[in-house]
Chain A
Amino acid sequence: MSVKNVLAVALGILSAIGGFVDIGDLVFNTQAGATFGYQLLWVVVVGVVGIIVYSEMCGRVAAVAKRPVFDLVRERVGFGAGLGTLIASQIVNLMTCAAEVGGVAICLQLLAGLPYRALIPLAVVALVLSAWVLPFEWIERVFGYLGLGLLVFAVAAIKLHPDWGRVAHGFVPGHHVGGSLLVYLYFVVGLLGAAMTPYEVYFYSSGAVEDGWGLKELGLNKVTSMIGYGLGGFLSFSLMIVAGVLFLPQKIDPQFLGTPPLAAADTLGQVGLLLALVGILFAVGGAAIETSFSGAYNTAQFFGWRWGKKERPAAASRFTLTWVVIFALALLVVMTGYDPVKLTEYSVIFSVVALPLTYLPILLVANDRTYMGSNVNGRLANVLGVLYFIVIIAIAVAAIPLLIVTNGGQG
């Protein structure tokens, strides 16, 4: 591999790390840390391995079959079931996009002090303009690199001097201490859902098709998904550790997007606070663009429209109109005044419910020699793929009952 290629992979990995955390990770990791300390760190590991397995399969299918997720969903499960999957995915996409837009407006408010309601349309206009003007790679890079401001939480986690023995113990599943079992299980489901967000995978595989990935990109696919998501998981660990050290002893239940940056301020002062706010702003902003594009990709791929960010907007008019409409609907949802943090909790839980619908077709196609030839799942990919399908089914069944019984994790 040449130096240029290594640099390209490194830059891709950096943007993947910065783009890993979205509002769902922020909310669930800090709430889990503030409620159970480090005891749920193992769930982040399970979630990160899950998203690696899922995205590696999607990337491989995109590179070999040259077809993205929803094209295959429709072919594999038929129009009716495919349409049901599309509708469920779009509802979750819209909820997530609205939560991310609300998150951007809150960050801007915490930075600039302007009224929240005025900042919502401003945030949407800025996001639509960025998505319209910036090329695909630049969207990933600008939002991914500036999202690296979130690394401030890793520094804060170290500076807070956690009991590393107990942190290590958190990576081993076992009996929990404090809180009820149902709340513990609610956070298990929420953390898995926050780590395995389907829109990231739709975006990733559609991007691979747009970039014209072929067989020689299979290695890049493995490296990007394993290292990018793997290292991105460290940000989730950091958020949980910080919340476990700082919020748990003071019995602070983080219900606001301003709470995690307060931890950065407590440890690293104003510089830490500003880095955290900028990191959250761009991580959440990038995720808003990804969700709107994912919605447009899904719809266009399902109905066979011309699609792609690299197409001129007029050439792929229905695709372009779809992502603009998703932003417009997200704007309306946030303008109702519904709390973006609550919306995030619901969007993560409902994304868990919809996850098996898109995961299964990909698992089947990745095992199908007529599509994949010799690049079908190997033994390890199959064992993990099936294992995660079982996990996904279990959490999909448990998600809504746990949401209701625990009153959204409040006990």
Chain B
Amino acid sequence: MSAPSHTSGALVALVALALLAASCGGAGTLSAKSLSQESKSLQSLASEGALLGWNAHAGRTTRIFTRVHSEELYKAASKAATSLRAAKTEPKLEPKLRNLTYLAGKVSADLKRLGHASKTEQALLAHELELAARTLE
């Protein structure tokens, strides 16, 4: 009986550890690696927003899909923007953090507008998001 209960206990501990480790992160002092990861994830959101925008503009998505999916992208970008605004970094990385915070705000604002934009605006927003994604490279 003792071996299986040890196994189960170890499994539960590992599960808790993994969940804890994976959920850690967020605001605080950002290293160069963390900044690069934030940048990558923002770039992904901007690129996906641009893809959604172009497809919405071309009539290839439904209005509901565009609204709901852009809202999801907006929430993620807005969360990143909030966390970047509260973050600190070492002095030499400050310009990068400021630039990233600005772009996160811009991407999140564009994504928020995308869900309710007209066809013309959708193309404009898709173009802006594409530019933001390129800047984030």
Using a CB–CB cutoff of 8 Å, the interface residues on chain A facing chain B are 80-81, 83-84, 87-88, 91, 109-113, 246, 250-253, 255-256, 258-259, 261-262, 265-266, 269-270, 272-274, 277, 342, 346, 349-350, 353-354, 400, 403-404, 407-408, 410-411
Contact = CB atoms under 8 A, between A and B. Distances in A.
Interface stretch (B46-54, B88-96, B101-109, B116-124): B46-54
Interface of B: 1, 3-5, 7-8, 11, 14-15, 17-19, 21-22, 25, 37, 40-41, 43-44, 47-48, 50-52, 55, 59-62, 64-65, 67-69, 72-73, 76, 133, 137
B76 to A, nearest CB: 7
Contacts of B3: 80-81
A262 B18 contact: no
B18 A270 contact: no
B18 A403 contact: yes
15 contacts: A81-B7, A84-B4, A87-B8, A88-B8, A91-B15, A112-B64, A113-B68, A251-B40, A251-B43, A258-B65, A262-B69, A270-B60, A272-B60, A273-B62, A353-B14
A123 to B, nearest CB: 15
A81 B2 CA distance: 9
Contact of B44 (A84, A111, A252): A252
A270 B14 contact: no
Given A250-B133, A270-B61, A110 B69 contact: yes
Nearest to A411: B37
Contact of B133 (A80, A251, A273): A251
A407 B8 CA distance: 24
Contacts, number: 108
Contacts of A256: 48, 69, 72-73
A88 B13 CA distance: 12
Q: Secondary structure at chain A's binding surface: helix, strand, loop or mixed?
A: helix
B93 to A, nearest CB: 19
Given A80-B1, A262-B61, A404-B17, A110 B68 contact: yes
A233 B118 CA distance: 40
A272 B61 CA distance: 9
B62 A270 contact: yes
B6 to A, nearest CB: 9
The 3 closest A-B pairs by CB, nearest first: A84-B4, A113-B64, A258-B69
Contacts of A266: 51, 55, 60
B56 to A, nearest CB: 9
Nearest to B7: A84
Given A113-B67, A269-B60, A270-B60, A81 B73 contact: no
Nearest to B65: A110
Contacts of A112: 64
A255 B14 CA distance: 24
Contacts of A261: 65
Contacts of A83: 4
B51 A262 contact: yes
A273 B64 CA distance: 12
